[in-house]
Chain A
Amino acid sequence: MTEPTNAWSHGADIAETGTEHRRALLNLERLDQPPVLLEGAAMIIHDAVDGTRDTDAIIAHLTASYPDVYNLATQVRECLAQLAATGIIVTTPTLQDETGTTT
């Protein structure tokens, strides 16, 4: 049995620059929008977006890496919502089977 889910992926038309610790992004599909600068947790969450994980999978992935972070799920949800609002990340419908494999 498969269930539809919304995996997050990076926007297709994003200009990106930065360093190991900062990332500046600009959505070229929305030229009237200012750039977005990611640091710290926001950058880690952005990195966790890989085109296969939905919100729950990203939370699970980051919880495994950062088990002691307080209120991690809320932080991740808020950050993903903000990134999605700017079009820096987008959802792509995928199908997920019982084993968690996305197709």
Chain B
Amino acid sequence: MTTTLTFAEAVALATAWADRFARQHGCRALVVKGSVLEAQGLRGHHESVDVDLMVDPAEFDRFVALLAEAGWHAMAPVNSIGIMDKHSATVLHEKWPITIDVHRFFPGFLADPQTVFEALWQRRTTATVAGVDVTTPDPVGHAAIAALHYLRHTSPGAITNLVDPLAERTIVALGPEGLAELSAFAGQTGSARTLALFLEKVGAPPAVDDPALAEAYRNWEMNSHAAPSTGWLVGIGRQPVHKWPAVIWHALFLTDEEIAEHYLLPEHLKPGDTIFRARMRRLTKGLKNAPGALVYLVRFNLTHRRKR
């Protein structure tokens, strides 16, 4: 007997583990994406490399603390001040080769996270993963989650390769009644505008968002078309001027811990790498991206002003 799991084995077992762990601790949680999308007919075969779990937002901090007690420690987040709020914590365990992404909310659902979770929870169903039942969104909720995931950074490639196939599968999986429910769900969760393209592609009835979500939608739009490094510029701009020197310094160099945790991962590692080299590599890339990000921001703000 050995314990060296493949990614596929680890993802399946960790999905079952996470679902059971949440239930055991009385925390409502939904397994999202992964093999369940395939089982619900919303995606073809796909090898996931992590587990996604959406938890009751009110229980998020408690749940992440419980995971830490069980050996699943959150990766030190880069204290970036981006366009969108941080929506998840990635946790890893020394005995497992994969990570679990614990979602406090899912980007693109612009309504209050608790409202969104309750809407998804109300529609929950079960799916079989690793031979056991796990709690998951129903195909309506899941189609919306998958579409928002693919639409978070729009590019022609993402539309052709991800959104279009999802739309085709959603039409079949949901049927006319399900598509009408998808529209209602989008309106209920503040995703009528963020999902507008997808709703159009599947032929679902149009949905309407609460007008109070206009600013949140602007942030979504800015983020989904953003050039690399835009988040840092936006974040800096949102800080009081007297904090700019410290914030800019941090944006440029990060802390040693942040560099080690995020830029010296096996997939980024170069021979003879050190924190200094990784930092310089990141800095070079960031400075190269900065002019493009600045141009993007100026254009976005001008366009947005004209719309208003």
| Interface of A toward B, CB cutoff 8 Å | 13-18, 22, 24-26, 28, 31-32, 34-39, 42, 79, 82-83
Contacts and interface: CB of A to CB of B under 8 A. Distances in A.
Contacts of B24: 31
The dominant DSSP class at the A interface is strand
A82 B1 contact: yes
Interface stretch (B15-23, B214-222, B238-246): B15-23
Most buried by A among B1, B5, B10: B1
B12 interface: yes
A101 B132 CA distance: 31
B70 A32 contact: yes
B131 A17 contact: yes
B250 to A, nearest CB: 38
Given A17-B130, A36-B1, A31 B9 contact: no
B1 A15 contact: no
A34 B130 contact: no
Contacts of A16: 130-131
Contacts of A24: 5, 9-10, 12-13
Contacts of B129: 15
A28 B4 contact: no
A32 B1 CA distance: 18
Contacts of A37: 1-5, 9
Interface residues of B, number: 21
Interface of B: 1-5, 8-10, 12-13, 16-17, 20-21, 24, 70, 95, 129-132
A25 B130 CA distance: 9
A57 B24 CA distance: 37
Given A24-B13, A26-B130, A28-B16, A38 B1 contact: yes
Contacts of A34: 3, 95
Contact of B131 (A15, A39, A42, A83): A15
Contacts of B132: 13, 15, 28
Contacts of B5: 24, 35, 37
A61 B24 CA distance: 39
Contacts of B130: 15-17, 26
Contacts of B20: 28, 31
Nearest to B4: A37
Contact of B12 (A14, A17, A22): A17
B13 A15 contact: yes
Contacts of A31: 17, 20-21, 24, 70
Contacts of A17: 8-9, 12-13, 130-131
Given A37-B1, A38-B1, 7 more contacts: A14-B131, A15-B13, A15-B17, A17-B130, A24-B12, A37-B5, A83-B1
B13 A35 contact: yes
A35 B9 CA distance: 10
A16 B222 CA distance: 43
Contacts of B1: 36-38, 42, 79, 82-83
A16 B132 CA distance: 8
A39 B4 CA distance: 11
B240 to A, nearest CB: 46
Nearest to A41: B1
Nearest to B95: A34
Rank and list the top 5 A-B pairs by shortest CB-CB distance, nearest first: A15-B16, A15-B130, A17-B12, A24-B9, A26-B13
14 contacts: A14-B131, A15-B12, A15-B13, A15-B130, A15-B131, A16-B130, A17-B12, A24-B10, A24-B13, A26-B13, A31-B17, A35-B9, A42-B1, A83-B1
